[in-house]
Structure 1
Amino acid sequence: MILKNKIISTIIITLIPLVSLFSNRVNYESEEVEFPRSASFTFFVIQKDSISKEYYKAIDKFKRKEFSEALELSFVALEKSNAQEEIINVNYLIGNIFRKTNNHNRAIKYYLNTLEYFKNNASIIQENNLINEDLLSNLYYRLATEYQLNKNIDSSLFYYDKLFELNLINKKASLLKSNAYNNLSAIYRDNSSLKDLTKAKFFINKALDINKVFGENLVLASNYGNLANIFMEEENFNKAKSLYLKAIKLLENDNREEAVKYKEVLYDNIGWTLYNMKNYRAYEYLDKSVAIRDSINDIGLRKAIKEIETRNNVELATKDAESKRIIAEKNELQANQTTWLVGIAGFATIALLLYLVNVYKLRQQKLKTQLSENELIQQKDIEKIKLESQIKILNATLDGKETERKQIAETLHDNVSALLSSANLHLQASQKQFNGNIPVELDKTQEIIKQASQQIRDLSHNLVSSILLKFGLEYAIKDTADKFSNSEISFFTKIEGVRRYDQSFEIKVYNMVQEFANNILKHSKANEAFLSAKEENGVLEILVEDNGKGFNSEDPINKDGIGLNQINARVKMLNGTFVIDSAENEGTKIKITLPIQERKKTFIV
């Protein structure tokens, strides 16, 4: 019975850091709708003999996902083309290439070019007897999603409205609209300035109505998961639980990469839902989520590397095409300016003479200023060496403190706590020998040992977070937000893509976040604070904001505070960046970026 109680206690402690997990997950985006055959790569069909061979080659490279080569060929086709139909098609293809390589700004530029040419050549389009509304719906959807990914919500909503105005009712258009409804639901659920859960629920239900008829299980599961997220925000845990389980059921036998990734999210969210319902099966689902996440980390890393290589190749192709265009314009300009060469040469000769006259004077002045500059450079070098020494000393002190705190915490947890537990067991065994007439002193001694054990556990956790050591930054930051929130201030979190790193690195980052949270409690007089952590392109970004009284970040007294100096020194030693943005009565925003330090893999023989 005692063992059973200990197991339940352990599960409860483990689940505590899952605060607000469901709201920090990125919604799964369903696969793209299959559009008319020509719309996948071209905007509309044109006569074969009017299309350049480079354009056909570019389409073939695009299908093979060789995007840099496809882009180079597309730019060549764009330079050669005189036919408006081909210009429209090539612009649309270039937009698709940039979309595939996550360059949203350039994708938007070429989609807008496509739309402009399309509208300016209505007569050609009508002669080719094309389905204009089908093509426009595809283009409006592309523009809406790219603006949404680029955080330009107003433009995104504008093109979603344009899409719905077309009022198409075929299967392809219906699936396209279901994607749009799903994205609109995400906007009204996650965007702070437009947040409206009623609208979010309305749009996701419209997407569900379509996908129940036409959609596959993965798309349908994502809709149920997004609807469950909304009910979680409304604290309707029973409804959220039912929808999460329905989504998991749909993907039970689906082992595709996209389905496995989404199941990890669903297991994570159902775990948090059950925790709120005081159902201790929450740990079981959390364990499933962590297992899936660990299994897909290596796959995700390889994909990320491949995407970076592809993006770099596309950027090189873009720069090469632009440089060729600039060279061509330059050659044309030189051809038009041949008649000016004689006059320019004469003017240059006069300017050269004036220049030579001034060179001597400038050289004398330069010698004088160079002596002053050398003195300044030497002084700066000395100050730099002093600053680097101070930073190293400060970091060595902090490293020593962190190591010492960890050793003390481990000693308390592994040794002292175990000894107290053993003493408690011996007391329990002694009590049985008194046949019911247990001395009061034994009961008091047992109670004292229990209190001491609890205090040691609390002290061990304060020295080094056990949640951080067991589950990593994501749960430790959420645990901090939960503990620091009270009736006067609420801490909110947003964690994206954070996983397990080198333990020493995690401890350093966690200590920084705790220092910021303590400063907010002590000094800010805020009623809301926001802790964010995101991994992107091998960099961990920490963002801390509050709506408190703020301070003058340019004031040397504020900039040189002990806590901020320590954090600044720690960030520099980790090769990161540290930026403070604050003003009086305008709150404070702190941003830290750190290169990831991966944890060492262990292998079982």
Structure 2
Amino acid sequence: MLLKKNVLVCALLVTQLLVGQETPVKNLKEKLATATDQEKISIYFDLYQSNIPLDEALEYIQKGIALAKRKKLDSLHSLYFFAAQGNYYKTEFKTGKKYATLSLNIAPHDEFKARCYNLLGAFCEALSQEDSAFYYYDEALEKIANDTSKKALAIKAIVKNNQANFYFKKGKFHLAIKDYLDSNKISSSLGDADNEFNALNNLGTCFKELEEYEEAKFYFEKALRVNISEDRNILKNVVEIGLGDTEVKMGNYDRGIKLLLNAEKKLEGSSYEIYLSVAYQALSEAYLIDNTEKALHYSKKTISKIKEINNPYVAAGIYTTNGLLHFKKKDYHNALASLMKAKEIARENEHNDLLYEIFLAEYEIYKIQKKATLALQHYEVAMAYKDTLFSIEKNKQITDANTRYKTKQKENQILQLKQKEAQQKLVLEKERTTKVVFAVATITALLLLAGIYYFNQQQKKQDARETALREKQMAQETQLQVTFAREKEKDKIALTLHGQHAKDLELIAAGLQNNNQPIWAEKISQIKDKIKDLAYKVQSVPFSESPFKDQVLNLAADDRLARTQVTFTGLKDIDWKQIAEPIKRNLLFAIKENISNIYNHSQATRVDFNFEKKDGVLFVSMKDNGKGFSTEDVKKGIGLRDIKLKMDEINGDVTIESQSEKGTKILFNIILT
């Protein structure tokens, strides 16, 4: 007897465990010691997808969950999802379903909710909760029904594939084929080779179950030509199981056996051993034709994997096949034992077609053993199941036909509605277009007239503003030129008094002192001080006629600094109107004095000024790249001594930093309050 086998590639929207290298894993673990909380979560994700064992990978996800809950990080929904996925691989379906539900409850958007619903559907399928599985798949599709993004379409293709698997297991092959074709079409348009591969394989399986072997072979071979990701390439051996079984049923026995043996060899020891039971079962049935020993050998290997099979129909079929093989070898005791296990599973799940085969086989055994009463009882039960099968098959055919009719009718109604809507939309679009064109033309004309008027008015205003601005600028420039000329002349007089006459008198006073004429030396010194004071007053007379910052900038424009690059930082950031006049006057004097020293002594090519007001203190620094001087000689300089006196008058301090050939920096710190 040939039994149905669900050779389905699971199309969950989950990341497969990737085959990585040992070094990256080691590096990831080392990074954990110094990583931030958010970085640790990223590393846990990377470790989960590396080549470490699944149990260890799930331990890292659990650490991530604990960290995310403790620190209230926004990655908790993804961690729950990975925990659910990992438990699916471990066949811990109840635990996985719990994590999938937790992920769904905090999912940030519909796309992620669709992923969660899809995963929940897979868990419910595995737990034989069929109504819930269908509900979750339907919810997944509903969440992304109007989303045409690539991500949403990819999810839709996968959900369609899994929903088709559900129909397949229910025996609704035509509905399954429709969903598989939809999934394949979407996946192909997106270039999603992995899911396209799944859909093609499962289409082949559907047609094989319908005994349409040419179609089945077409889709299996097409699946083998798809370039899937390297880590999933071994799944092509699962396709070889379906193709090999199909070849055997088409009479291509040798090619079929070769494909099945190759699949068995490649799957043993791989992470996809779960499919070995399917390969063993296919080989067992293939060898039934001419090699009972090998058929029994593979039947026993299939039973050794029975715990990994979640489909009770397949499990019952495996025990039935094993019983028939023992019967063929006249090992009636083991035959009846296997058939009894098959009968228990089939009865529990109401698989009447298998129960018919089981009771018929038991009838044959009891007849050979000359147990007439038991033989008759089992024959009557077998015939009863046969009658039931006839009714069920007829009802199924009627139901399938009715489903196809309603589906076709609904599709036609939808098509008619779409055509009608398209026609109405076209009429409305034409009317809307006409109205829009007229409205746009009217508005454009009005806007054009308004624009011309507005432009003329604005042009007149602009001309008036520009004329007023030019007149104001000319007046300001004239006033500034007068002020600067007056300041320059005043500075020239002050410089002559202070820089030349005062210094000459100081030299005379020093000579008289050396010639033992102290009285005259003292008088000359007094005259010198009066001249310096006069020079200072000359500088201060028109001070308020121009802003302080303009006077500072005017100093930088001094002809003596024509070859020196002068920069200012922070000068315009200070509200100089809030600074007291005596402070500004003395500060300007100090700056002038320092500029004079730079010109006369430093040979600098660059001078940088920096102004800053902070916490009630005014900081002013002047830095040049000149030849510098020894700080021991500072006290001997007349100009620097005068700067110190001016700073003392305004509660200020002066700091001088200089070295030979390394330039000079002078810093003024003035307390304002």
TM-score by shorter chain over 0.5: no
Q: Shorter-chain TM-score category? A: 0.3 to 0.5
TM-score w.r.t. structure 1 length?
0.40
TM-score w.r.t. structure 2 length?
0.37
Larger RCO (CA within 8 A; separation ≥ 6): 1
